[in-house]
Structure 1
Amino acid sequence: MDLTQFKALSFDCYGTLIDWESGLAAVLSPWARSEGLSLTDEELLLAYSTHEAEVEASAPFRLYPEVLAEAFRRTGAALGRSVSSEWASRLGASVPDWPAFPDSADALARLASRYQLIILSNVHRAGFAGSNLRLRGDFAAIITAEDVGAYKPAPAHFRALDAKLEELGVERSGLLHVAQSLFHDHVPARREGLPSVWINRRRDKPGWGATPQPSGEVGYSLEFGSMGEFADAVV
């Protein structure tokens, strides 16, 4: 693939640019200890993984903090423990505290010299605004779940993306999608006929972590272990 042929990059944010698993574990782990559960961060993320996607699919108009809180409550129930309102709210409010991957801000700055950058994210506007204080990204467009009333892998983000590309004067053939999650991004990218790059942040870890196993046909053109590696291949 000639990466220089593209005019714009659309990014998933959480898992790709922001370390959402560390952000989740920073709340799930102390809760588990308070409940006497001897579970590793990986075990907690695995326990959590399907519940968030289920809430997003069943209640697509809920804001992301509400999704996080409800997914936490369901995770607790599955582990035989209750999750108090205080703990649920703590996870729901935690998005702006989630750390960026160390290479994200620099990679975005380098990529912005060649491409228009677009965010395609499953969070709410305020949550992403907090995260972008860490990323310092110069984005031509930001599309969130709050904007489209749905969560990936549903198609609403991609319909909004098509409209935004027209506004930006970018042909669809000039767009490359960049993401970590096979479930949320690369399955729908293949469905939508979009070329994509897999940022495999879990390359050195077994399993799927906080992301459900992909349930559809997966397709991507290139794989990198980090945003830094991807930017190095382009700039």
Structure 2
Amino acid sequence: MFAGLKPLLCRLPTPNPYIEDKFHTLSAFQAFERDLQRFQPTLRYNELLPLAYKAFAASLSLPEPSEQEARDFGSQIGTWPAFPDTVPALKALKKHYKLVMLSNIDNDSIAPTIAGPLAGVEFDAVFTAQDIGSYKPDLKNFKYLIEGVKKLAVKKEEILHTAQSLTHDCVPAKTMGLSSTWIDRENQEEKRRELADKLNFTWRFKSMGEMAEAVDKEFEEMK
């Protein structure tokens, strides 16, 4: 996503905190994204992103991007790279668990994501915001997950919700009474302290790779 914002960032005077700080930039952009998800929950993600792109440009006092530029940004979803450890970790976890994706991405974008950045990973089910009609952290998405995995003979208490986002995933997971794992890739300890009373994740790892190694070790010791 950060790479897709560079056409805007390159128009800013330098130095500036946006071109130099990826975390700062994505946090600022995602504030517009969250507002749109909250107030237009049925809008497809690839249609929502161009609106967020334009709103972000306006917040930077930049001229409004062309419709084509905004659409191009929204069409890049399926090319966003996965973290280097994600695919190997998911393949390793698949040896022990069913894999179910609960995504805020739309159906048109999820297919190239699975075929591209996540190629080689076998998912047992994929539930998208478009299917559900709302975006995480709406509890409807998690209720949909709980009901959906019943078709895989998975009970609520058997779900281990694993995610990086505290606000979109770990907080609603606690509200719904789900066991969860937090993948803390960005060392968000300050954010964790802010949300401490809303969190109850069971495990915490720095990466999916670290989680997969811990799971493999646990199953090996159970033999």
The reply to whether TM is greater than 0.5 is yes
8 Å Cα contact 1:97-1:131 kept in structure 2: yes
For residues 13-57 of structure 1, the C-alpha deviation after alignment (integer angstroms, 9 at most, x for no partner) is: xxxxxxxxxxx1111123221354633233322321211000000
Partner of 2:25: 44
2:58 counterpart letter in structure 1: A
**Percent of pairs identical after alignment?**
34
- Length-normalised TM-score, structure 1: 0.82
Worse-matched range after superposition: 95-104 or 29-38: 29-38
One of 25, 32, 42 as aligned partner of 1:61: 42
Structure 1, unaligned runs of 5 or more: 1-23
- 1 or 2, which has the higher helix percentage? 2
Q: Which amino acid aligns with 2:204?
A: E
The residue that corresponds to 1:147 in the other structure is 131
Task: Find the aligned partners of 1:129 and 1:226 in 2 and give their Cα distance.
Answer: 24
- 1:29 matched residue in structure 2: 6
Structure 2: tracts of 5 or more residues without a match:
217-223
1:207, 1:93 → 2: CA distance?
Answer: 33
Matched, 1:200 2:184: yes
What root-mean-square deviation, in Å, do the aligned CA atoms of Structure 1 and Structure 2 show? Answer: 2.0
Query: What is the aligned counterpart of 2:85 among 84, 98, 103?
Result: 103
Q: Which moved more, 1:78-87 or 1:169-178?
A: 78-87
Determine if the alignment matches structure 1 residue 73 to structure 2 residue 57.
Answer: no
Aligned to 1:116: 98
Q: 1:224 to 1:215 in 2, by over 3 A?
A: closer
Residues 173 and 138 (structure 1 numbering): CA distance in 2 closer, same or farther, change over 3 Å? Answer: same
- Aligned-pair distance for 1:86? 2.3
CA 1:72 to 1:214, structure 2 compared with 1: closer, same or farther past 3 Å? farther
Contact 1:31/1:87 (8 A) holds in 2? no
Deviations 1:1-24, CA, capped at 9 Å, x for gaps: xxxxxxxxxxxxxxxxxxxxxxx1
Who wins on radius of gyration, i.e. which is larger?
2
Number of residue pairs matched? 207
CA gap 1:95/1:42 in 2 versus in 1, 3 angstroms: same
Q: Which of structures 1 and 2 has the larger relative contact order (alpha carbons within 8 angstroms, sep 6+)?
A: 1
Opposite residue 197 of structure 1, the aligned amino acid is T
| TM-score after normalising by structure 2 | 0.86
Shift, 1:214, TM fit: 5.8
Q: Can you list the C-alpha shifts for 1:114-154, whole angstroms capped at 9, x where unaligned?
A: 11110000001221211112212211110000100100000
Q: Name the residue aligned to 2:143.
A: 159
- The answer to whether the 8 Å contact 1:29/1:44 transfers is no
